[in-house]
Amino acid sequence: MTTVKSRQESLLMAHLLRRAGFGATPPEMDKALAVGYDVILDELLNPDHPDVIPYDLIRRFHMDQSELRGSGGPHWMYWLVMTDTPLREKMCLFWHRLFATGSTKLIQSRVVTNQIDMFRKHGMGTFDNLLIELSKDPAMLMWLDNQDNHATNINENYGRELLELFTLGEGTYDEATVKAAARTLTGYGVNDLHNLSFQIKPWHQDRGWKTLFGNYGNYDGDDLVDLILEQPTAGRFLTHKFWKNYISEINLDESELAVISATFRASDFDLTVLYRSMLTTPAFWAQENRATVIKSPTDLVVGTIRTTGVLPTDWQTLPDKLTMLGQDLFGPPNVAGWPGGAAWITS
């Protein structure tokens, strides 16, 4: 007979594998329960380590990605369904929503696919390094017009959104800071003749001294990231985003958020520390926070496939199905990404 304790352990493990991934099949659940919560959490947080769970599901699909590389949505669907590093892949989805870019403006979906690769590589490192890579990412630079940001003709789009939507939030800076931030990013562009790769164009750079958050110096884009993360709201802003993604969209515990934010900041913005804090705080498995995160269409569809082990024969059309459900994977509605939450629940 199943004991109360084993039922509770099963519920907790299922909750972890849903929130920190896309669910698990019954055999995978059995294997996870056999090794325990802490071991599975370590596996999720260290995606380059050998699997504890063999992820039989993905090995059964035998999907062929050889012709998918330039196909955008289907290529990423391959990764989402087949991944044996579910937390890393789910974080790619999180970063793509936070740092929204779309092929609707960029024309070539491969630059967005390359950006997802960048999230895969750097999205579980440190926040400062991720932001530096983001400021050199061709998809982002093209999406927010930074290739048009020149010393003689400042374009503030990326500099403004880096402050407002990506790191600090509204009301934490003034317009002079936006202008100075944009000046540090002049000349950060894309080489149209070399596979749309990142290129610093010295002839477009503003090499004058700039004032940022009370500091005065000859700053560039890397310096800008360092100065942003010195601001008191930097860690708190991202911590709130993580809380709504992992714990609850409606129940915010400000005192616990402050503790997690301080721990994140003390770790020099180590993202793995932030992930672990979110997945081990009592609020993560508190009953009042269950069913308070509304799944995105991508999370819902991928989770259903991985949990049931049933792959539709027309799986390459799944991105079209997601679009019908309101989430075109490579076509966010605007720079703020998909609103999420209750906005997913429509007719």
Residue 12 burial by CB count (10 A; 0-12/13-18/19+): exposed, middle or buried?
A: middle
Question: pLDDT digit string (tens) for 270-309?
Answer: 999 999 999 999 999 899 998 899 999 999 999 999 888 8
Which residues are 190's β-sheet partners? 198
Looking at residue 47, what is its pLDDT?
Answer: 85
> How does residue 1 score in pLDDT terms, banded at 50, 70 and 90?
very low
8 A C-beta contact, residue 269 and residue 226: no
Q: How confident is the model at residue 40 (pLDDT cuts 50, 70, 90)?
A: very high
Annotate 128-140 with b (16+ C-beta within 10 A) or e (fewer): bebbbbbbbbbbb
Report the C-alpha gap between 335 and 326 in whole angstroms.
16
Mean pLDDT of the 66-84 span:
71
pTM of the model: 0.92
Least confident window among 38-47, 137-146, 160-169, 308-317: 308-317
| In the chain, % of residues over pLDDT 90 | 63
Of residues 52 and 17, which shows the higher confidence score?
17
Residue 77: the pLDDT is 86
Q: What is the pLDDT of residue 67?
A: 47
Whole-angstrom distance, CA of residue 119 vs CA of residue 130: 8
pLDDT, the chain, mean: 89
What average pLDDT does this structure show over 183-211?
91
Q: What is the mean pLDDT of residues 197-225?
A: 94
Residue 61 scores a pLDDT above 60? no
Q: Is the pLDDT at 37 greater than 80, yes or no?
A: yes
